[in-house]
């Protein structure tokens, strides 16, 4: 199958437009598959991303620090953090350096959810399973090049 068949469009302005449409379509296709996996533990991809960030942090983080590390910069970080706190997956702590500020940490329940989701890593990796390891490396190089990332 090709993007032409998937969206039933045979003409593109050029290969750049085809690539752009293909990346957007593929991103949405991947996100639907990930939503299914995260939904098993009743969390969204954005909530998963924040929990993953908090688990990897060595110290509590402010919502600004979390936002800077998020994959989706358009997310309303404060609102998502509040939902995680209501679900007891994260908790707020008073900042040690400035008691007027509040930082966020992951809770034991949040760690347990991530442990459960870790069992699905092969399924998540399998979303790109039609690529060889070498093709995945090439794709990463091309995507990094596209963003002028080093």
pLDDT digits (tens, 9 = 90+) for 52-87: 999 999 899 988 899 999 988 777 898 999 999 999
The whole-model pTM stands at 0.86
pLDDT at 142: 92
Cβ contact 105:90 at 8 Å: yes
Cβ partners under 8 Å of residue 121, min gap 6: none
pLDDT at 1: 58
Q: Give the pLDDT confidence of 11-51 residue by residue, as tens digits.
A: 899 989 989 999 999 999 999 999 999 999 999 999 999 99
């Amino acid at each position: 199958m090709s993007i032409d068949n998937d969206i039933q469009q045979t003409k593109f302005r050029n290969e750049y437009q085809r690539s752009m449409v293909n990346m957007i379509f593929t991103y949405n296709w991947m996100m639907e598959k990930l939503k299914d996996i995260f939904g098993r533990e009743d969390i969204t991809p954005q909530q998963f991303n924040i929990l993953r960030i908090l688990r990897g942090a060595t110290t509590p983080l402010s919502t600004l620090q979390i936002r800077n590390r998020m994959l989706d910069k358009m997310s309303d970080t404060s609102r998502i953090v509040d939902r995680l706190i209501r679900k007891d997956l994260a908790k707020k702590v008073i900042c040690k350096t400035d008691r007027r500020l509040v930082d966020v940490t992951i809770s034991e329940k949040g760690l347990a959810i991530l442990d459960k989701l870790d069992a699905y890593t092969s399924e998540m990796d399998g979303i790109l399973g039609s690529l060889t390891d070498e093709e995945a490396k090439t794709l990463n190089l091309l995507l990094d090049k596209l963003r002028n990332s080093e």
